[in-house]
Structure 1
Amino acid sequence: MMRNLAYLYIIIGATFWGVIGIFVTTLYNAGFTPIQVVAIRSITACVFLLSFVLVARRELLIIKVSDSKLFIGTGIISIIFFNWCLFSAIKETSLSVASILLYTAPAFVTLFSRILFKELLTRKKVVALLITLIGCILVIGVFPISNQSVSLYGIVLGIGSGLFYSLYSIFGKLALKKYHSLTVTVYTFIFAACAIIPFSGLWESTYLFSNIKVWFAIIGLGLLSTVLAFIFYTKGLELIETSKASIIATIEPVVASLTGFFLFNEKLTLWQYWGIFLVILAVIIVQEQKRKSHETN
């Protein structure tokens, strides 16, 4: 029963991540820029998370000043650049394409883990990397050549989102050796919010906040697609293995694609759907490899 409940938690969390395009697009239509949307997400998530921890687990806010470098990694190098690339990719390409290019992250994690943590680059991992590459080629429309090819700028942004998102796993792995997952998440968004505010120019767009739709989008982006998504996903992680949770979470790009199709009339070719399938398959292969490695050890 608890295992089934854990699956439900993971599905809910991944679904909340998958619908992020709804809120991002609403903010774009209102007149906000990508960097302002990144700032809005960081600030809102910071406020919600910090308020929760101050009330429920205040002791989790205690960290060593010398460990700030870890949160510079998770909050600034990863979260800010990951969000900016992702939100810009959504604007430049589509919700579906941007979402699947984000899922190149496991491939980058595999490569970085090999370089930094000396993890074995097994045959299955190499196959997964190749499948990811082929899947992305199909998604962006490089082959077969079609009228729906994605711009080079859009490709760079999409793959950039995967790259910087993967760095969160690297920096996060180091931070989690010392701190609770909630501590890492709170300080990640504290550092992200403090770093992005001076460059966001939000004070120049204060008039946009008079729109009630904007506030619904802000709450949705910060609370639903960030804080609650994290809470549900983390709760699920407490009950099942990380590898299984990661596999279930691959419904995120599926939800994003369905959202783009039904709400924003985004249409993909059959080849692009095959590309989405291959990228998700690659993620499953990598996670299956991790599961077997843990069982062996």
Structure 2
Amino acid sequence: MAHTESAMTARQSWIGTIQIISAAVCWGTLGIFSTYLNQSGFSGWQITILRIVSAAFLVLVMLPTLWLHLSALRPKQWLGLALQSLIGVLGMSLCYFFAVIYVGAGPAVALLYTAPVFSLLFSAVLLQEPITRQSALLALMAVFGVGLTMLGDAAKVNWGIALGLLSGVCYSLYGVLGKRAMHYAHPAPLVFFTSIIISAGVLLLLPETYRTYGQLFALPLATWGYALGLSLIGTVVPFALYMKALEKLPATRASVFTIFEPLTAIALALLLLHQALSWIQYVGVVLILLAALLNAMLNGTTTRVPRWLRRRPKPF
């Protein structure tokens, strides 16, 4: 009996690992889809609109199962979710896609992975959580890596570096603001649903959103495929896989495997977009990713999902 349970546990662990890696690979395609859309004439702002609004229409299928949870939210919790969505989803997407345009998919996703460094600072200021010596050393490693990635070509790259770092700031605030706003655990699908829906609701108030979709509908079907890939493959599918994987794996182990996201982005950028870096910039990227990986392994943190999502989510 014990042997059977052990075999089942091992099988579930393998399934969870495959789901995590698949989610990370899907997230790693965001830079590719956004680059193709930019080449089709869309700005970073328009690419953000296409990602969030299209994803919102896809996740509306979750509304019937989440209605009771949504109706029970208090105004203060709605405010916390709104801040988390507008900064962590809308702000992060906007900065990240502009960074991809300026510096390429590989460096942009590496700079996004500076989020654990900013999480340390914001957690200390907003949540009064102490910064350990180990965390400080990892932060310095990441900062040194960022410095090496800046040893490229001047102004255009520097703008991309700044936007990439800002995407990491927004990403880190997604978790910190969420922890501060919430006083009890919500189902993971609820947090994902509100993160997308609130930002999409704001975007639907802007005329630029309708101009963007008008521009999309006038383009070939291949461009429609890039927009669908951005929202479905790069957003909805990986988050669903990640939540399902957390039912089978500890969050610490799960966060380690998200390292496949930047590796995928860098590999695809090299193979499909021919975006090569200098050797010193590759060293910087490795240092940033190594700092994020060690942070996940040693501290059990994750840059993808806030802390309350590390509890066992309800399936949907």
TM-score, normalising length: structure 2: 0.85
Task: State the 1:237 CA deviation.
Answer: 1.5
Q: What is the match of residue 178 of structure 2?
A: 172
TM-aligned CA distance change 1:150 to 1:242, over 3 Å? farther
SS of equivalent residue, structure 2 residue 130: coil
TM-aligned CA distance change 1:200 to 1:74, over 3 Å? farther
Answer yes or no: is the 8 Å Cα contact 1:140–1:150 preserved in 2.
no
TM-aligned CA distance change 1:176 to 1:4, over 3 Å? farther
Report 1:152-167 matches (<5 A). 152-167=158-173
- The answer to whether the aligner puts 1:288 opposite 2:297 as a matched pair is yes
Task: State the 1:150 CA deviation.
Answer: 5.8
Q: 1:116 and 1:32 mapped to 2: Cα distance?
A: 37
Q: What is the match of residue 305 of structure 2?
A: none
Q: What is the match of residue 283 of structure 2?
A: 274
Equivalent residue letter for 1:15: V
Q: 1:115 and 1:40 mapped to 2: Cα distance?
A: 34
Q: 1:224 and 1:166 mapped to 2: Cα distance?
A: 23
Question: Structure 1 stretch 239-248 or stretch 6-15: which is displaced more?
Answer: 239-248
Answer yes or no: is the 8 Å Cα contact 2:55–2:196 preserved in 1.
yes
TM-score, normalising length: structure 1: 0.90
Answer yes or no: is the 8 Å Cα contact 2:216–2:224 preserved in 1.
no
Q: What is the match of residue 116 of structure 1?
A: 126
SS of equivalent residue, structure 1 residue 201: helix
Task: State the 1:274 CA deviation.
Answer: 1.5
> Which of 1 and 2 has higher RCO (CA within 8 Å, sep 6+)?
1
Residues 155-210 of structure 1 show CA distances to partners (whole Å, capped at 9, x for unaligned) of 11010000001111112334483421111111111110111233461333414323
Equivalent residue letter for 1:252: E
Report 1:85-164 matches (<5 A). 85-141=95-151, 147=153, 151-164=157-170
Q: What is the match of residue 295 of structure 1?
A: none
Equivalent residue letter for 1:283: A
Q: 2:280 and 2:154 mapped to 1: Cα distance?
A: 11
Which structure 1 residue ranges, 4+ long, deviate > 4 Å from structure 2? 146-150
Query: Structure 2, unaligned stretches of length 5 or more?
Result: 1-10, 302-316
Equivalences, count: 287
Q: CA RMSD in A?
A: 2.0
- The answer to whether the aligner puts 1:235 opposite 2:244 as a matched pair is yes
Query: Structure 1, unaligned stretches of length 5 or more?
Result: 293-297
Question: Structure 1 stretch 177-186 or stretch 77-86: which is displaced more?
Answer: 177-186
Residues 259-292 of structure 1 show CA distances to partners (whole Å, capped at 9, x for unaligned) of 1000000111222222122111111222233249
